[in-house]
Structure 1
């Protein structure tokens, strides 16, 4: 058991806490969108990635989001998930410039189309965040 995991805290509770901290409302929306079609899968999303993996001690949340953004960019066809994790990256301290550099790095290993798709997703996320901030909404 890691320092982030206690016997008193369930995988689900730990995952809920991590999901809220990392993804905020975007992650909660993803989980809620599964409620009517696959509630068990929604629970798995909370327990495994967030309750087990994200809570492991040897990488920080910022590092985990760099890896996740890079992987989703490299896949090239995961724009909805990438946008959620771009928000998460910003939430855990990545700068916009760092995110752009991650995408550019992926051009070397995943190709220009994947990097372009990632950059366009980032552009949308940044614009939406700017719009929210301009209107005074919480991010």
Structure 2
């Protein structure tokens, strides 16, 4: 797993791209592309620091890191786009839909019902989008 072996020859950006690819496929490249015309350096920072420095550390596996991230973004109550990305990432690293729902319900205790409701709404969107892309299409 990514956290178990940091490669000494890798740059922060390379390490970050590798970590992000483990979590969410091409998401890192999509972030870079989306910000290329307005803030390319910012896109680089978004990959280097969180994924190249933090997600790559030993001590927590990717599943635990995504649980913490989903909880934090839910508690913020104002980061729905980022929360949706991390709900997807959580599903990709083995967090179940029921666990994601429970994480958000837990946040109602500490962040309030509005934040939990916003989180559950984001989860419903992600789950629905995944279902729409996995169900067979009928003519």
Tell me if TM exceeds 0.5. Answer: yes
- 1:24–1:88 Cα contact (<8 Å) kept: no
**Gap runs ≥5 in structure 1:** none
Q: Which residue of 1 aligns with 2:100?
A: 99
**Gap runs ≥5 in structure 2:** none
TM-score normalised by L of structure 1: 0.91
- 1:62–1:93 Cα contact (<8 Å) kept: yes
Q: 1:2-81 to 2 correspondence within 5 Å? A: 3-81=4-82
Residue 26 of structure 2 aligns to a residue whose secondary structure is helix
What is the CA distance between 1:23 and its match in structure 2?
2.0
TM-score normalised by L of structure 2: 0.91
Quote the Cα distance in structure 1 between the aligned partners of 2:31 and 2:109. 30
- 1:3–1:57 Cα contact (<8 Å) kept: yes
CA RMSD in angstroms, aligned pairs only: 1.5
Provide, for residues 8-39 of structure 1, a one-character-per-residue CA deviation record: whole Å limited to 9, x for no partner: 11111111111111122344323321111100
